[in-house]
Amino acid sequence: MWHVYTMRIEDEIQQKDFKDDYRRLLVNLLFTNNWVNQQVMPFFRAHGLTLQQHNVLSILRGQHPEPVCFGDIQCRMADRSSNVTRLIDKLIEKGYATRDICQANRRMIEVRLTEKGLQKLEEVDEDMPALYQRFHNLSHEEAVLVSNMLDKLRG
Amino acid sequence: MWHVYTMRIEDEIQQKDFKDDYRRLLVNLLFTNNWVNQQVMPFFRAHGLTLQQHNVLSILRGQHPEPVCFGDIQCRMADRSSNVTRLIDKLIEKGYATRDICQANRRMIEVRLTEKGLQKLEEVDEDMPALYQRFHNLSHEEAVLVSNMLDKLRG
DNA sequence: ACTCTATATTTGTATACACAAGTAATGTAT
DNA sequence: ATACATTACTTGTGTATACAAATATAGAGT
């Protein structure tokens, strides 16, 4: 009898702790999200880019001087949901990229990094240590640990 | 002589590893950020709320039936940068909150949760376990660990 | 060749956000 | 009392985002 009773209490407590710890994680992720944006946005803005624009430029550099098509860019972006067309428009406006219809499959658009875009990326790279500086509250090992945990979280 | 040389290499390697680990952390935080939003947004949308609207309602419940003024709401929100005025407007539109000019200091606005708002919160609460379910890739202990690390990261 | 479906990108629209400027009430110093 | 600064919230504006619908090309089956 008392066994059943205590089990119930334990279950209840366990459930409660359980819920609260994951809730704390969720709130923490949202806070951190916001904090990261506040660190990162002004950094890229100082270089005349948004985070996503820089992200796309980096993807383009990965294949440079080969082109990358829209779909591939979309797949590789951290933020999948955003509108690649209009992002690329901005980069072309600024002279950092070019677009051409792919002759092999005319539905596809080939996007290439320009020399100017490459220079901009190198300029940003030089400044990068200043950005990473802001993550130094965590040790080298802790940074690796958190990365691994986040990978695991997303499954 | 060789000592100096090897030291240089070690420094260089260390520097490189260092940089890459923090870079990986940054990219990982951005990816996770996006992933969390994709888990959370549809959940709240299914209840006719945005994440931020729910966040404000929770803050209001914390003081209920006492009012909370705009400034306090802004301070307590996860995303500090958003526009509280227009957020509250939405909640009032939906009948979840009320606003009154504070008689003690007529610059301030007192926001209160309505009965309807309270019911909506309870409805969301009941469904919460379904949301937390998505974080179960991490064990209880890992969830706590990551929370602590994120706290440390933000300083 | 013709229709149907799938793929790849674009456009439209409503909503959200960031930042700056604006308004209104209060406090403070002369 | 009057002028100036500060606080607390609001509004305006351009940009960004989410989601859905539209276009345009390619491939597959008949």
Asked whether the predicted pLDDT for residue A128 surpasses 80, the reply is yes
Q: Which residue is nearest to nucleotide C19 (CA to C1')?
A: B81
Condensed to tens digits (0 to 9), the pLDDT of residues B99-144 reads 999 999 999 999 999 999 999 999 999 999 999 989 999 999 999 9
Q: Among residues B153, B20, B31, which one has the least CA distance to residue A55? A: B31
Q: For chain B, how big is the Rg over CA atoms in Å?
A: 22
Q: Is-contact A65 A135, C-beta < 8 A?
A: no
Asked whether the predicted pLDDT for residue B14 surpasses 70, the reply is no
Give the rounded percent of residues in chain A with a pLDDT score beyond 70: 86
Of the partner residues A132, A146, A152, the one whose CB lies closest to the CB of residue B137: A152
- Say whether residue A126 is in contact with chain B using an 8 A CB cutoff: no
Confidence of residue A89 (pLDDT cuts 50, 70, 90): very high
Task: Report the alpha-carbon distance of residue B54 to residue B97 in Å, rounded.
Answer: 12
Three-state secondary structure of B72-91: HHHHHCCCCCCCHHHHHHHH
- Asked if the Cβ–Cβ distance from B150 to A31 is below 8 Å, we say yes
Determine whether the distance from the CB of A56 to the nearest atom of strand C is below 7 Å.
no
- Say whether residue B81 is in contact with chain A using an 8 A CB cutoff: yes
Distance A105 CA to D25 C1' (A): 8
**Ranges of H-type helices in chain B:** 2-46, 51-63, 70-76, 84-93, 115-132, 140-154
Asked whether the predicted pLDDT for residue A18 surpasses 80, the reply is no
For residue B82, what is the nearest residue in chain A, using CA coordinates? Answer: A34
Residue A148's pLDDT is 95
Asked whether the predicted pLDDT for residue A4 surpasses 80, the reply is no
Mean pLDDT of chain A: 87
Coil, strand or helix: which one is A102? coil
Q: Which residues pair with A69 in a beta bridge?
A: A110
Please report the DSSP string for B47-64 in residue order.
TT--HHHHHHHHHHHHHT
Q: Poorest-confidence range of A7-11, A139-143, B134-138, B139-143? A: A7-11
Task: Please measure the distance between the N-terminal and C-terminal CA atoms of chain A and give it in whole angstroms.
Answer: 41
> Pairing mode, if any, of strands A109-113 and A97-101?
antiparallel
Q: Is-contact A97 A91, C-beta < 8 A?
A: yes
Task: Report the alpha-carbon distance of residue B80 to residue B78 in Å, rounded.
Answer: 6
Residue B7's pLDDT is 62
Residue-range domain boundaries for chain B: 1-46, 48-154
Interface test with B, best of A16, A29, A56, A125 (most B CBs within 10 A): A29
- B131 vs A contacts (CB less than 8 Å): 26
Residue A144 tokens read as 């690796």
Condensed to tens digits (0 to 9), the pLDDT of residues A20-64 reads 889 899 988 988 988 898 889 999 999 999 999 999 999 999 999
> Pairing mode, if any, of strands A97-101 and B109-113?
unpaired
Question: Helices H, strands E: what count in chain A?
Answer: 6, 3
Condensed to tens digits (0 to 9), the pLDDT of residues B41-79 reads 999 999 999 999 999 999 999 999 999 999 999 988 877
Fold designation for B48-154: Arc Repressor Mutant, subunit A (1.10.10)
- Say whether residue A33 is in contact with chain B using an 8 A CB cutoff: yes
Chain C bases closer than 7 angstroms to a protein Cβ: 7-12, 16-20, 24-27
Residue B83's pLDDT is 87
Please classify residue A51 by burial: count the beta carbons closer than 10 Å to its beta carbon, then call 0-12 exposed, 13-18 middle and 19+ buried.
middle
Please classify residue A131 by burial: count the beta carbons closer than 10 Å to its beta carbon, then call 0-12 exposed, 13-18 middle and 19+ buried.
middle
Residue A124's pLDDT is 93
